[in-house]
Structure 1
Amino acid sequence: MRFLRPLPYIVLLLLVSCKKEDKHIAENTASATDSPFYVAFNKLSKGYTKEKQNSISRFYDKIWPKDDLSGGFLVAKNGEIIFEHYGGFSNSKAKTEISSDTPIHLASVSKVLTAALVLKLIDGKQLDLDQKVNMVLPEFPYEAITIKMLLNHRSGLPNYAYFSDDRAIWDRSMLHNQDILNLLAEHKFNLYFQPDKKFGYCNTNYAILALVIEKVTQLNYREAMKKMIFEPLGMKNTFVFDYEKDKSKVSLSYKGNGVLYDFDFLDDIYGDKNIYSTPRDLLKFDLATYSKSFLDPKLYKQVFQGYSYEHKGEKNYGLGIRMHEWETGEKLFYHNGWWHGNTSSYVTLKRDTVTMIALSNKFSYKPYKIWKMSPLFGKYPIKEDKDDVPE
């Protein structure tokens, strides 16, 4: 098990830990300068860093009181890692410990990265936000659905996990993205609701967006993500899972009681899930989003605005990102994920340049609680007893 967090109650360890923590911050910040999307933030004072470390440490000990995290946890401000911790095993049988370099399944946090590439294509005039999906994928049978409706979950598409579970429709052999499109074209399933009428979170949206990426770039989604997102941002421990090539090598996932989750026929779908990454790589991605050269500012603004106001409430969804919008004007952006035993949460406080990430390969709702740290960094009206609702 590897600890990278301060232990304030032991003076000697505190001194050693602070030196190690400073080194990790310096290394991570230095690597970011190599990115074409590097943004220079103000350096944090030692007093500020120590104060936040203590507060985050108390939060961590409350959420994981037995220190039973199986995954990674990271909090950064202005690109500097304030607090970081890793624990558990990527393979419990082999006793392979999880470290800062261990890629873990992001589940639906993958959608944030898929959306980023779609938005890059829009920024490069290779796609249009309001373009009809069937203009890119001619076999797509729903005339009114646009790229934007896929990104903000307002398409009304049925969930592929449900219709492919019907043996009269699919034989439960390994399903692929093209199979999903083929089934939609063949069966023309009824939409859940009229396109753009309301919000309806659905993984099919992002499975189709992966096919859009492939059609526009003429690259397999895995290769497109690598060349256009992961490599430019220096995300060296991030990749898209390939069932045949990676099933025996990747971090495994476990039920809450430690029982291994087996792979199933939905484990080779990408776009909505199946990206493996680390907290440090996700931090690199988050830092890039502050750069004006990453996305045109006008398009960037559209990403971080809500599109579903049919029902009054705090929660909304932008273009590939969830959000809380309060009457006070504060906004909190995040995405959660859940696939098999993998649970994940990515929180980005844009106004306060704070990144919070928790990844777990052992089923737990605890990663979803990290948004409650937000009041440590700004005036976020989060109630202590209010729980986030996973997807």
Structure 2
Amino acid sequence: MFAPFLKKRIRNIYLSLIIGLTVFFLYNNSSSSQSLVVETEITTTESTNSESQISIQYYPEKEIRHLRYKLDSLLKRINKRHDFHGAILVAKKGNILYNNQVGYADFKKKTPLNEKSVFQLASVSKQFTAAAIMLLNERNQIKLSDTVTAYFPRFPYKQVTIRSLLNHTAGLPNYFWVAEHKWRSKEAPTNSEMMALLESSNVQRYFKPGRNFDYSNTGYFVLASIVEKVSGTSFSSFLKSNIFEPLQMKYSYVYNPKNDSIHENQLDGYRLYKGWRHLKINNTVNDAIVGDKNVYTTIEDLYKWTLGLNSGKLISQESLDLMYSEGETVYGRKVPYGFGFRINTEGQKIIYHHGKWNGFRTGLTKYLEDDLVVIVLEHTSYSAMTSLNKKIKKIIAENLEV
């Protein structure tokens, strides 16, 4: 006698289930079609209002499928032919076109690279040092016209200004040479120890400040030392609280092998031996100096840096313009370097920097007219960074219609 009731109950449940599933699929299809860009919000630690947000956006897959195929093919080819083990990120007009990696993080364990692999930036680190200086300048804690002796009275090279350090016109000697020939301890010197060594070593400078352009790692370690002196904290702590945390670069840090422990996913640098074996590159006497190198980060964190720097969230437009402008000698000759960036004005203006240190090969390039950013990070002594950038640029030009 309960059979008709049960049949009706089951039929109602079945109909309700069908209606629910239909509504679910219609809603999801509608939601996915409303937005062409996948967006992840990155909020600074200082504020949660809309003006303080930086977003990472991606091109929809259907619009860049062929482009991705071309870049995937390039990545596989350079891995096989040229021993490239690293990552590439390409973004145009604020949208990521491509973000991928190939090869190994650890050759002994055969661990593959992934999106959280942390690379040493080598000389690409210099732009963080320059930004730290611009932050202090904006806060009226320093002036670009100040001399180093205003902060380090015993600094042996007179009339060297902060500006001349930034655009490599200070004429300072190479601290690599000083460490290799004058340093007596088995442990690598830190910034403070190298500053003291410069004071006592009596090494002559190359030329008087402002007369020429000479790319100088020394200048940028001195700048980092000024940041520490003025801020009263370590260079590592200053970047963490003033740059990495505000931009939510949560996998980024300054690493000093003398004082710091190795972080998770932190890569070693390698070199290829006899065409098949990868050997870790040993530490050197110059490894503990920061400011000219030793910023570590992931490829996506480095992209967050470009967004933050160029959006006005970190420094003013006036400061950014200075960083992106060619320097000058005292004779009025232009030099191909701004503050932390190389400047190429042949054809369209290109703001870029490459890095090379202990097996790491890095590059960050911004093509201003195309609003195109290309980031390449590698850790097995890859030697064709300029050529690779040109190949990536060509693929973008030929396969993207925007």
TM-score range, shorter chain: 0.7 to 0.9
Give distance in 2, aligned partners of 1:37 and 1:59.
37
Q: Which residue does the alignment assign to 2:379?
A: 361
Q: TM-score, normalization: structure 1? A: 0.80
Amino acid in the other structure paired with 2:269: S
Q: Give runs of aligned pairs for residues 159-174 of structure 1, distance below 5 A.
A: 159-167=174-182, 169-174=183-188
Give CA deviations for 1:341-365 in whole Å, capped at 9, x if unaligned. 1111111123333221111111111
8 Å CA contact retained: 1:37, 1:291? no
| Larger relative helix fraction | 2
What is the aligned counterpart of 1:274 among 294, 299, 305? Answer: 294
8 Å CA contact retained: 1:256, 1:341? no
Pair 1:79–1:92, CA change in 2 (3 A) = same
Give distance in 2, aligned partners of 1:43 and 1:359.
20
Q: Give yes or no for the alignment of 1:109 onto 2:109.
A: no
The count of residues paired between Structure 1 and Structure 2 equals: 351
Q: Which residue does the alignment assign to 1:264?
A: 284
Give distance in 2, aligned partners of 1:46 and 1:248.
33
Give distance in 2, aligned partners of 1:140 and 1:129.
17
Amino acid in the other structure paired with 1:269: I
8 Å CA contact retained: 1:214, 1:221? yes
Q: Which residue does the alignment assign to 1:242?
A: 256
Q: Give yes or no for the alignment of 1:89 onto 2:107.
A: no
Q: Give runs of aligned pairs for residues 32-111 of structure 1, distance below 5 A.
A: 32=42, 38=53, 49-50=64-65, 52-57=67-72, 59-60=74-75, 63-66=78-81, 68-111=83-126
Q: Which residue does the alignment assign to 2:22?
A: none
Q: Which residue does the alignment assign to 2:269?
A: 253
8 Å CA contact retained: 1:341, 1:361? yes
Pair 1:190–1:221, CA change in 2 (3 A) = same
Q: Give yes or no for the alignment of 1:118 onto 2:133.
A: yes
Q: Give yes or no for the alignment of 1:31 onto 2:64.
A: no
Amino acid in the other structure paired with 2:208: Q
8 Å CA contact retained: 1:132, 1:144? yes
Q: Which residue does the alignment assign to 1:319?
A: 339
List alignment gaps of at least 5 residues for structure 1.
1-22, 380-391
Q: Which residue does the alignment assign to 1:290?
A: 310
SS in 2 for 1:235: coil
Q: Give runs of aligned pairs for residues 137-148 of structure 1, distance below 5 A.
A: 137-148=152-163
SS in 1 for 2:363: strand
What is the aligned counterpart of 1:303 among 323, 334, 338? Answer: 323
Give distance in 1, aligned partners of 2:219 and 2:184.
19
Q: TM-score, normalization: structure 2? A: 0.78
Q: Give yes or no for the alignment of 1:231 onto 2:250.
A: no
What percent identity do the matched residue pairs reach?
27
Greater Rg over alpha carbons, structure: 2
Give distance in 1, aligned partners of 2:40 and 2:180.
48
SS in 2 for 1:205: helix
8 Å CA contact retained: 2:211, 2:329? no
Give distance in 2, aligned partners of 1:37 and 1:365.
39
SS in 1 for 2:310: coil
Give CA deviations for 1:301-326 in whole Å, capped at 9, x if unaligned. 11111115799x99811111012111
What is the aligned counterpart of 1:338 among 351, 356, 363? Answer: 356
Give distance in 2, aligned partners of 1:100 and 1:43.
15
What is the aligned counterpart of 1:203 among 209, 212, 217? Answer: 217
Give distance in 2, aligned partners of 1:212 and 1:109.
19
8 Å CA contact retained: 1:217, 1:224? yes
CA RMSD of aligned residues (A): 3.1
How far the C-alpha of 1:371 sits from its partner, in A, is 2.9
Give CA deviations for 1:204-253 in whole Å, capped at 9, x if unaligned. 11111111111111111111111111111111111111314325863111
Structure 1 window deviating more from structure 2 (121-130 vs 331-340): it is 121-130
8 Å CA contact retained: 1:37, 1:233? no
Amino acid in the other structure paired with 1:363: S
How far the C-alpha of 1:37 sits from its partner, in A, is 5.1
What is the aligned counterpart of 1:182 among 190, 196, 199? Answer: 196
8 Å CA contact retained: 2:58, 2:96? no
List alignment gaps of at least 5 residues for structure 2.
1-34, 46-50
SS in 1 for 2:115: coil
Give distance in 2, aligned partners of 1:42 and 1:231.
20
SS in 2 for 1:86: strand
Pair 1:310–1:325, CA change in 2 (3 A) = farther
Amino acid in the other structure paired with 1:194: K
8 Å CA contact retained: 1:130, 1:146? yes
Pair 1:176–1:62, CA change in 2 (3 A) = same
Give distance in 1, aligned partners of 2:225 and 2:377.
27
Q: Which residue does the alignment assign to 2:24?
A: none
Pair 1:91–1:60, CA change in 2 (3 A) = closer
Q: Give yes or no for the alignment of 1:351 onto 2:369.
A: yes
How far the C-alpha of 1:87 sits from its partner, in A, is 2.5
Give distance in 1, aligned partners of 2:396 and 2:151.
43
Pair 1:43–1:96, CA change in 2 (3 A) = closer
How far the C-alpha of 1:57 sits from its partner, in A, is 4.2
8 Å CA contact retained: 2:327, 2:335? no
8 Å CA contact retained: 1:177, 1:270? yes
Amino acid in the other structure paired with 2:393: S
